[in-house]
Amino acid sequence: MATSTRIKALGERIQACRECERARVTYLKFPFSACGNPNSPIWIVGADPPHLKDHGCPRFWSGNAGRNLREPIQSAFGNGSLERLFYLTDIVKCHRQTRRLSLTVISNCTKWIVQEARLLKPQAAIVLGNDAANIFKSPAFHGSLDVVFLPHPSPANSATVNREVGGWHEYHLRLVKECKRLRREYGA
């Protein structure tokens, strides 16, 4: 079965999931639409999709956080490079209605990101934010991928970026450096 067919079948199973509803957690269900290059050995992984009417590719990293991700990558690799070079996905497949992700929702969705990884077999991932990092540090992923952990690129996360990376300029430099390294090592 072709990768696109298998991804579509996984997306249909994700769309049919109702575990959060049964747990009485309010989330907005999106049609499953990971984005970018499913044949890329390198993933960029966030926490959950933003609440946008457009369910296509532009919903990934299109707001203020997106600028902190897209602009350095585009300056290093050219326009459209994010979707061309990387597979973009989230650990949670629905949009949250609260400020923070609940542990119930993360637990409910972990199986989907694990199945996505089994299906696409990435070799490396750039993992953004603590919630995504916790999943990629779990036994399900530990040791199976070359993982780069970075703070979530939201401007609201500036204090964390300053503390962990030394500021936005350093964040952008590290992001580009790691993207170049991963592309060199894994051929994306």
At 46-75, the pLDDT tens digits run 888 765 544 455 556 777 888 889 889 988
3-186, CATH topology level: Uracil-DNA Glycosylase, subunit E (3.40.470)
pLDDT of 152 reads: 92
Q: What is the pLDDT of residues 113-149, one digit of tens each?
A: 999 999 999 999 999 999 999 999 988 887 789 999 9
| Mean pLDDT, all residues of the chain | 84
- Cβ distance 42 to 84 under 8 Å? no
* Long-range Cβ pairs for the range 135-140 (8 Å, 24+): 135/91, 135/106, 135/110, 136/45, 138/110, 140/110, 140/114
Asked if the model's pLDDT at residue 154 lies above 50, the reply is yes
Higher pLDDT residue, 37 or 163?
163
Task: Look at residue 23 in the predicted model and tell me its pLDDT.
Answer: 59
pTM for the structure as a whole:
0.88
- Give me the count of residues in the chain: 188
- Cα gap 92→95, rounded to integer Å: 8
